[in-house]
């Protein structure tokens, strides 16, 4: 047995900014990010890419009825 720990459990999650370990606990005010830098970086990326729409799906152009079947 390890003895009783009074510390609350802290989960370690992957930081969305850098992919590194991030403490997901109240003491990490930037959670789920690992720190202020990653949080700000992510918000900046959001702001610049939020309104960018990827290429629309090209319309299906199959000619299903024009194959000569003899």
Summarize as ranges the residues that interact with Zn ion (CB under 5 A): 15, 17-18, 34, 38
- With a CB cutoff of 8 Å and minimum separation 6, the contacts of 41 are 17
Quick one: DSSP state of residue 57?
P
Smallest separation (angstroms) from Zn ion to the CB of 7: 23
Pairing verdict, β 21-24 and 11-14: antiparallel
| Shortest Cβ 23–Zn ion spacing (Å) | 11
Residue with tokens 């510390």: 7
Closest distance of CB 10 from Zn ion, Å? 16
Pick the closer one to Zn ion by CB: 33 or 63.
33
């Amino acid at each position: 047995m390890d003895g009783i720990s009074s510390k609350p459990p802290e989960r370690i999650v992957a930081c969305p900014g850098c992919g590194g370990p991030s403490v997901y606990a109240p003491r990490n005010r930037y959670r789920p990010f690992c720190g202020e830098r990653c949080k700000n970086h992510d918000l900046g990326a959001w702001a610049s890419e939020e309104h960018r729409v990827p290429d629309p799906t090209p319309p299906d152009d199959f000619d299903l009825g024009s194959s000569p079947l003899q």
